[in-house]
Structure 1
Amino acid sequence: MTKQPQDLQIVILGAGMGGLTSALALAQQGFKNIDIYENASDLGFVGAGIQLAPNMARVLDGLGVWKGIEAEAVNIEDTSVREGATDKEHAYVDLRYIEKTYGYKHMVGHRASLANGLYEGCKKHSSIKFHFGINADNVDSFGPRPSFTAKPRAEGADPFKVECDVLLAADGIKSVTRVEMLKRLGVDVGVKDTQQAAYRIMIHKDQIKDDPELLALINSNRVTRWIGAKRHIIAYAVSNNTIYNISTTQPDTNFAAATNATYTTKGSKPAMMGVFSDFCPMVQRMLNYVPEGEVCEWKLRVHDPLPTWVHDSVALVGDACHPTLPHLAQGAAQAIEDGAVIGVVLSKLPDTTPESINKALRVYEKVRKSRAEALVEMATASGRALHLGEGAAKEERDKQFAALRAGKGPVPDKWADADVQREIYGFDCTKVAADNFNEYFSHM
C-alpha cells in the first residue's frame, strides 16, 4: 500500500510559536505522526507583551485557537508617538479602521496567553506528541530520512537517535540545525550584533493605583512610543488592561564582554534609570516601579539573510531562519505564518518521495522567504528612524511627523504607517500558498 502524505513521520525541534503552529497546522490537515522535541522541561509560559496583528489573528482563527487568545487581549484603537524628553506628541494615528479593512482588530496580549492558546490547541490532537527535556544535539542526516541525536536532560538518561521523513527546525536564533545546514552547504552566515539591547518590563495595575497619570495609560486602548536619541520605549496594556507592558531599546553597553551565546543578563535598576534619565518625569516614574531584582536586559541580534531555508527533507522555521528586531512587532507573527504555510504545502504533496518533500519545502520557502526578509529589513530601518540623534536626518524625520499631523505623508514609525500595514496585514499566507502551490511545485 502506498504511503500517504498524512502518514509521514514529522519531527519538529522547538515548541516556540513557529513549532507549535507547524504542529497544529499539520494536525488540522490530517497528519497522524507529529513529534515535538523541546529542550525545556515544560513550556513554563513566561515572557512579556506581544502584538497580535491581523495577519497573525487570521492564521490563529483558521487553526481554531484565536477566540481564546482574543478574550484575554486588549484591542488597540490608536497609537501616539511622543518625544521622550518632553512627552510632546510627534504623531497620532487612529487604528480603529484596521478591523474593517483587514477583518481582525489590532490587539495586544501576553506572550504566555498566545503560547498557551497554541499549546492547548495542539493538545486536542492525539497525533501531536510532546517530548520535553530533550536537546537536539546534532543533526546527523538531512535526507532521504533526516535524523538527529536526542540528548535527554535527565541525569543518567542515554542519548538516542531520532529518524523521520520531515524535520522542521523551529529551534530559535541559536539553531543547531541552521549551523549544521550552513556547514554542509559550505556557507558562512554569522549572527549580527545590532549593538542594541532591550529591557522588558511588566507593571501590575495595583502597583500604580495611586498614580492617576499612569493609571490612565493602563486603562487606555493605546500603544504609546517615546523616542529619543538612540533609544525608545514602547508601552501598552495587556491581560484585559491589568498589566502595563513596557519594552525599551537602547545602545548595548552591558554585553561587551559576554560570549556570543549570551542573550540575557540580570540588569541593574540604577543603570536602567540612567539610560532614560533625560526622558520626561512620567516615564521615569513608570520605570521606577520595577522592583530592583526584576530588571532583565536582552541583547538584540539578527543574522544576514540565509541562502536557503531548506536542505533535503529539512526546513528551518521562525527565528532559526529570520530573526527580526522588535520595531515592527512581527517576529512571532512571521514564525506563525511559517507554520501555517508548512501545513498547506505538505498537505498538497502528490507523493511521499524525498524529492517531492524537498520540492514542497522549497514552495514553503518561496512563499515565505522574501516576505520575511523584507520585514526584517523594514524593522531595522524603522529602528534607525526612531533612534536618530540631533542633526539633519532627525530634522527631516520630524518634518515627516509634522506633515503626518497635518494629515499627509508617511509615518516614520513604520509600524503605524498605513501603507506598511497594508503590505503586512493584508497578506493571507495560507491562501497564497494554496493558490500557488501547483505552479510553484511544478517549477521546482
Structure 2
Amino acid sequence: MAEEIAVVGAGIGGLALALGLARAGRRLRVYEQAPELREIGAGVSLSPNAVKGLRYLGVGERLEAMADEPPTQVTRHYANGKVLVNFRRHNTREQLGAPYLQAHRADLHDLLRERLAALQPDALVLDKELTAVSDDPAGAYVLDFVDGSQAAADLLVGADGLKSTVRREVFSEPAPEFSGFVAWRGLVTRDELGDEQSRPGSMVFVAPGRMFVRYPVRHGRLQNFVAFSQVDEGWSAEGWSQTGDIDAVREVFSDFHDDARVVLRAFSGGRCHKWGLFSRPPLPRWVKGRAAVLGDAAHPMLPWLGQGAAMAIEDAVILCRSLIEFEGADEALRRYENARRERVTVIHRESLHGGERLMQQDPDELARRPVVTEETLGLSHYDPATEPL
C-alpha cells in the first residue's frame, strides 16, 4: 500500500507542511537524509507574513514567547559607524497583524518537530537519503534510498533544499549556481560579549561587496552574526556549507567599525560555519504529475531581504491548505502553484535588488534614497492562512 503523502526533507518547510497536514488528520512520512537532527544554523528572521503562517500551524504563540522582537533595524556605514537608516519596528504587530521576530533557527525547527511528533510519532524517518524517484505500474512514486530501501507514495513533495533530489529526478532541473558570495555565521554568548554590547535590535554594517549583520536571539542570551563577502574564487566544497575560520573572518572585516568587530573578537569556542550562497530563478513549474516542490527546492534566493525561511513557510501553508480544501491532488497542486508563482517571483527579484542596494560602491547613498525593507515593499501584509486559492 502506497503512503498517501511523502515529504522529502525535514527542514523548516518540510516540517511545516507535515505539521499542517498532520493537524488535519492526514497520514504522511517525512524522509530526512541526516541520521539525527542536531542543533542547526544560527539566527533566522521571521517577518509578519511568516509569523502568520506559523500561527496557522498552531506554533505561533509558543514561538513568539521564545523569540526576540527587535524594536529597530539600524543600517550603518561600515567604517565610521554613521547611521544611514534607522527603521523602527516598534508598532509592527499593530500595523501588520503580527510581529517581526528573530529566533534561533534550532528553536523553530525543534518546535515544528516536537508538535509533529505529538500528532504522528512515526511521521519522521531519519537516515533516508533519496537517490532516485520512479513510477510504479499503479501510478505511485517509488523512492529509492541510499541504504537500498524503498518507499512508495501517491503524492510526493520535495522540500529537500538547494540540492534537491526531487527537483533533479522529477523535474529534470539543474542545481542552483554559486552567486559569488559567501556568508560566515556564528553565535556569541552574552558573557563573551558583555551586557553593554548585548543590546536589543538589529545592526547592519554595509560596505562595497561586504555586509555584517548582528542581532540578539534567545532573549539576548546569544548574539547572532552573519558576515557576507563577495569572493573571487568559486565554491569548491562538496556541500553548501563548511567549517569556517574565525581568524579569516576577522581579517576580511578588519576595517569595519568596532561595533561589528567586537562580536568577532568575542567569538570563542563556538562553531563558525561558512556558507556558499546559491541562487537560480524560480522553477518554470513547481508541479509535475502528483509531485511538487517547495522552499529552496523550488526557488532558492539570496538572503538580502531575509525572506528565505518565510517563503518556505508560506509555501508549506498554501500547499497544506490546497490539499485540505480541494478534492483531488491534481486540483490541489494546481491551486498551490498558481497561488505562489507570482509572489515568489517578485520576492526573488527584490532579493537580488536588495544586495545591489545594500552593498553598492557608496554606502552613504543609502541615506539619500527611500528606505526599502520587507515592510515598505508591502511583502509583510501577506497572510498565507487567508490568501485566496
Question: Residue 224 of structure 1 aligns to which amino acid in structure 2?
Answer: M
Q: 1:308 Cα deviation (Å)?
A: 0.4
**Residue 10 (structure 1) aligns with:** 5
Corresponding position: 1:270 with 2:242? no
Matched, 1:362 2:334: yes
Q: Counterpart of 1:219 in 2: which secondary structure? A: coil
Q: Deviations over 1:226-245 (max 9, x none)?
A: 11111111111000110011
Residue 262 to residue 124, structure 1, CA distance change in 2 (3 Å) = closer
The corresponding residue for 1:3 is none
The answer to whether structure 1 residue 160 and structure 2 residue 132 are counterparts is no
Find 1:258's aligned residue among 236, 246, 258.
Answer: 236
**2:83 is the alignment partner of 1:123:** no
SS in structure 1 of the partner of residue 185 of structure 2? strand
Alpha-carbon distance between aligned partners in 2 of 1:138 and 1:309, rounded to the nearest angstrom: 18
CA distance in 1 between partners of 2:124 and 2:244 (Å): 33
CA offsets per residue over residues 117-165 of structure 1, 9 Å max, x none? 111110121376111111111111298312211233xxxxxx1221111
Q: Deviations over 1:291-341 (max 9, x none)?
A: 377432111001122110111010001110111211111111111111111
2:376 aligned residue (419, 423, 431): 419
Residue 333 of structure 1 aligns to a residue whose secondary structure is: helix
Secondary structure at the residue paired with 1:279? coil
What letter is aligned with 1:205?
R
Residue 288 of structure 2 corresponds to 311
Q: What is the alpha-carbon distance in structure 2 between the residues aligned to residue 122 and residue 339 of structure 1?
A: 14
> What corresponds to 1:299 in structure 2?
276
**The structure with more helix, counted as a fraction of residues:** 1
Contact 2:157 2:294 in 1 (8 A): yes
Q: Matched residue of 1:124: which SS?
A: helix
Partner residue of 1:28 out of 11, 23, 26:
23
Amino acid at match of 1:399: R
Report the Cα distance in structure 2 between the residues aligned to 1:225 and 1:273, rounded to whole angstroms: 16
The 8 Å contact of residues 144 and 312 in structure 1, kept in 2 or not, is answered as no
Cα displacement (A) at 1:56: 1.3
Aligned equivalents of 1:378, 1:174: Cα separation in 2: 23
Q: Could you list the per-position Cα deviations for residues 326-370 of structure 1 after superposition, in whole angstroms to 9, with x for gaps in the alignment?
A: 1111111111111111111111232xxxxx422311210111122
How far the C-alpha of 1:262 sits from its partner, in A, is 3.0
Partner of 2:345: 373
Q: Deviations over 1:343-398 (max 9, x none)?
A: 11111232xxxxx42231121011112212221221111111111124xxx66544
- 1:11–1:242 Cα change, 3 Å: same
Match for residue 107 of structure 2? 113
TM-score (norm 1): 0.82
Q: Which position in structure 1 is the counterpart of 2:213?
A: 234
Distance 1:99 1:84, change over 3 A: same
- Contact 2:42/2:187 (<8 A) preserved: yes
SS in 1 for 2:343: helix
CA contact (8 A) 1:151 1:160 kept: yes
Partners of 1:216 and 1:106 lie apart in 2 by: 24
What are the superposed Cα offsets for residues 5-33 of structure 1, whole Å, 9 maximum, x if unpaired?
xx9711110111111011111112221x2
CA change 1:191–1:137 in 2 (3 A) is same
**Cα separation, 2, equivalents of 1:397 and 1:46:** 33
CA distance in 2, matches of 1:358, 1:279: 53
Larger radius of gyration: 1
Q: Sequence identity, in percent?
A: 27
Deviation at 1:42, TM superposition (A): 1.8
The structural deviation recorded for 1:104 is 1.5
Aligned amino acid, residue 258 of structure 1: S
The change in CA–CA distance for 1:10 and 1:325 in structure 2 (over 3 A counts) is same
Query: What 5-or-longer segments of structure 1 have no aligned partner?
Result: 1-6, 153-158, 210-214, 351-355, 401-409, 437-444
Q: Give the counterpart of 1:283 among 260, 263, 280.
A: 260
| Partner residue in 2 for 1:169 | 158
After superposition, the Cα gap between the structure-2 partners of 1:79 and 1:190, relative to the gap in structure 1 and judged at 3 Å, is same
Q: CA deviation at 1:193?
A: 1.7
* 8 Å CA contact retained: 1:25, 1:342: no
Deviation at 1:47, TM superposition (A): 1.2
Query: 2:320 aligned to 332, 343, 357, which one?
Result: 343
Q: Is the 8 A contact 1:81 1:225 kept in 2?
A: yes
Identify the range of structure 1 (135-144 vs 366-375) with the bigger mean alpha-carbon deviation: 135-144
Structure 1 Cα separation of the partners of residues 54 and 142 of structure 2: 30
Kindly indicate whether the alpha-carbon contact (under 8 Å) linking 1:110 and 1:238 is maintained by their aligned counterparts in 2.
Answer: yes
Question: How many aligned positions are there?
Answer: 387
2:299 counterpart (322, 342, 345): 322
Q: d(CA) in 1 for partners of 2:140 and 2:309?
A: 29
What is the SS of the residue equivalent to 1:431?
coil
8 Å CA contact 2:52–2:384 kept in 1: the answer is no
**1:154-200: per-residue Cα shift (whole Å, max 9, x none)?**
xxxxx1221111111111110011012233xxxx5452221000010
* 3-state secondary structure, aligned to 1:134: coil
Contact in 1 for aligned 2:3/2:152 (Cα 8 Å): no
Unaligned stretches of 5+ residues in structure 2: none
For 2:175 and 2:300, how far apart are their aligned partners in 1?
Answer: 12
Give 2:86's match in structure 1, choosing from 81, 89, 92. 92
What CA deviation, in whole Å up to 9, does each residue of 1:400-424 have, x standing for no partner? 1xxxxxxxxx214x34xx421xx22
CA RMSD of aligned residues (A): 2.1
1:387 matched to which residue of 2? 359
Task: Tell me the SS of whatever aligns to 2:254.
Answer: coil
Q: 1:166 to 1:96 in 2, by over 3 A?
A: same
TM-score, normalization by structure 2: 0.93
Give the distance between the partners of 2:268 and 2:241, measured in 1 at CA.
Answer: 18
Q: Mean alpha-carbon deviation: is it higher for 235-244 or for 278-287?
A: 278-287
Indicate how the Cα distance of structure 1 residues 109 and 349 shifts in structure 2: closer, same or farther if over 3 A, else same. Answer: same
Distance (Å, rounded) in 1 between the aligned partners of 2:39 and 2:268: 21
Q: Which amino acid aligns with 1:17?
A: I
Contact 2:56–2:385 (8 Å) recurs in 1: no
